[in-house]
Structure 1
Amino acid sequence: MSPSLPLTLALPFESDAPAGLHSIATPGLWAVTIIGVAALILLDFLLTRRPHEVSFREALGWSAFYIALPLLFGLWVWAEHGGETATRYYTGYVVEKSLSIDNLFVFILILSAFAVPRALQQRVLLVGVAGAIVLRGAFIAVGAGLIATFDWTFLLFGAILLVTAVKVYRDARSEDDETIEPGDLGIVRVMRRLMPVTDGYHGTRVTVKEGARRALTPLALVMAAIIVTDVIFAVDSVPAVFGITADPYLVFATNAFALLGLRALYFVLENALSKLVFLGYGLSVILGFIGVKLVLHWAHGVWPATPTVPTDVSLIVIVVVLAVTTVASLRHVKRHGSDEPARVSQ
């Protein structure tokens, strides 16, 4: 099998869904999407150019906007490309959104470890989101190229997700409190070797002049830490969405929409995240399920009698797992109180 990789991508994926064999994207659609994502990031930068503490009402409004946007986009996909493709898109978005909530646990630890002033937190998250979208775009391009070239890519992605699922489960069971020491982060050590770092923050500036030399501010370190952290998350989140659809455009769209809403979602959920005490268990089940789905798809290509998992079944399983996880967490907190620390699964 040696499919080519032109702009309209031939994709060997999911025999149960013929509509997913080709990317829905045209060069024009890619251009509009990239320009649209860049415009939204620029808008966020303009609106946050003056540092301020984000109120719950402001965060809720932006979070609602960034949830409505991908939902409306899904309706367009449905109208233009049919229910099967739209179901894949929505399933991928739900997976990516649930994994992005797990990102927030780590972001809270990083912002706390670097003692980032509340007025600067949204700028840190926004830079992290912008960098993450670019890096995930690169991950997706590599993943799409592998899928179009090697049949065993699905087996590789499945194995990555199964290993990650086990790690997430073990972390969820761990009773040790998760902490982050800035000096232990590799990116921080590298940056400190390259340039001196000031003791305090200087507004939104990432460098300042100290004497004859230019120095980094802690803001530069924490932004780099956020971006590197998201690269680590991308190792499992990108294969997870490829487990739903092999269309790189839809994979990029789900990742971009989930990341764009991450800044606002952080300020909406920062006080509620500790209540999702069983989130790690739910995510481990979802990652394991998608990992098995990918392995079955690879096996189906080798042994056609091997069953595959339809997209609508995937959506039902993922939604049910998230619902059970959320309800169980809230009932546990109501019964035992909310002093139990949130579990970090990365």
Structure 2
Amino acid sequence: MPAQSIASPTLWLVSIVVLLALLVVDFVVTRRPHEVSVKEATGWSVFYLALPFVFGLWLWTAFGGGQALEFVTGFVVEKSLSVDNLFVFMLLLAAFAVPSAVQQRVLLYGIVGALVLRGVFIAAGAAMLSAGTWAFLVFGLVLLASAVKILHAAVTGAEAVGDTSQMRSVRLLRKLMPVTDDYRGTKMFVREHGRRALTPLAVVVVAIFATDVVFAIDSVPAVYGITEDPYLVFTTNAFALLGLRALYFVLHSALAKLVHLNHGLAIILAFIGVKLVLHWAHGIWPAVPEIPTLVSLGVIVVVLGVVTLTSLRSRRTADARSD
């Protein structure tokens, strides 16, 4: 059975209200289409990266070090996966030739969609865990399968995004309504020749929503491998997704240099998958060892550090050969 949540209904309500308030602020910031400067993006990124650690300190004082450690570990996992999410967003924005002035609005729609989808998956995951410990085995197998898929794509060099016109969601959308040839600012619907039509902005938003589903399938079981508390699962996802809009513009050039990121994410997902399977087996055979949260945090940090260093070294070697 899952551990009892630390959150009262009041805490849930306050957390959701704060999340909605932060999203409203982001919508206000992106109301006027403009190119995002590095200074603006860095300022917002620092703010959103500081928030989860302040929240972690509050958890430590209010509920103890165990919950705070689970939150921080889960946040590191979710933030790592969100960076991979950003890489796919970058490919989609390039594939759809989204004007730089409206890119942040597209990213914000993608983040809102990801939050909604993960909320659904978190609730479904909590229901599965309440039904029995077999859910840990299912989550573990899902993560192991995802790890194999990501590692295969990383080794073979398969593109994360292929021909966007062949995406099922995009093809269905184009069949349902006509699409204008050009962007119309932040508008997703316009009236043209007496008919209601979509703009390319609406098409790219739908494409991003479709990728959000894929990432939700990976991310929610991954954080349930760190903590069984639905509230901590929710907050790790929320804090990891908040600020992605600004972080995208800070990491835009760096993302292409992290050539080994997917290798690292595959290792992390496989590790958490094994952790979940061991946890399930421990419930049946107590002699089966479990992996402590502190060890999980150490493994995750080391893997991310190693793949970052190897990515930068590989990039430097490639640049030196091209000179």
Question: What is the TM-score of this pair, normalised by structure 2?
Answer: 0.97
Alignment of 1:82-161 (within 5 A): 82-161=64-143
Query: What corresponds to 2:299 in structure 1?
Result: 317
CA shift, 1:333, in A, is: 1.6
Output the CA distance in 1 between the equivalents of 2:185 and 2:320: 34
Q: Are 2:19 and 1:41 aligned?
A: no
Q: Are 2:164 and 1:182 aligned?
A: yes
Distance 1:177 1:233, change over 3 A: closer
Output the CA distance in 1 between the equivalents of 2:243 and 2:80: 12
Output the CA distance in 2 between the equivalents of 1:141 and 1:316: 28
RMSD: 1.4
**Cα-to-partner distance string for 1:130-156 (whole Å, 9 max, x where unaligned):** 121111101100000100112210000
Query: What corresponds to 2:238 in structure 1?
Result: 256
CA shift, 1:177, in A, is: 4.9
Q: Is the partner of 2:209 in helix, strand or coil?
A: helix
- Kept in 2: contact 1:51–1:120 (CA 8 A): yes
Alignment of 1:1-346 (within 5 A): 12-13=1-2, 21-337=3-319
**Cα-to-partner distance string for 1:9-56 (whole Å, 9 max, x where unaligned):** xxx35xxxxxxx221111011101111111111111111100000111
% identical equivalent positions: 60
Question: Which has a greater percent of helix?
Answer: 2
- Kept in 2: contact 1:77–1:86 (CA 8 A): yes
Moved over 6 A (4+): none
**Cα-to-partner distance string for 1:260-279 (whole Å, 9 max, x where unaligned):** 12111111111011111111
Q: What amino acid is the match of 1:59?
A: A
Unaligned runs of 5+ in 2: none
Question: What is the TM-score of this pair, normalised by structure 1?
Answer: 0.91
- Kept in 2: contact 1:162–1:288 (CA 8 A): yes
Output the CA distance in 1 between the equivalents of 2:300 and 2:160: 26
Output the CA distance in 1 between the equivalents of 2:159 and 2:226: 33
Q: What amino acid is the match of 1:300?
A: H
Distance 1:238 1:179, change over 3 A: closer
Q: What amino acid is the match of 2:290?
A: T
Output the CA distance in 2 between the equivalents of 1:163 and 1:194: 34
Number of residue pairs aligned between Structure 1 and Structure 2:
322
Q: What amino acid is the match of 1:288?
A: A
Unaligned runs of 5+ in 1: 1-11, 14-20, 341-346
Distance 1:54 1:219, change over 3 A: same
- Kept in 2: contact 1:196–1:216 (CA 8 A): yes
Output the CA distance in 1 between the equivalents of 2:49 and 2:161: 30
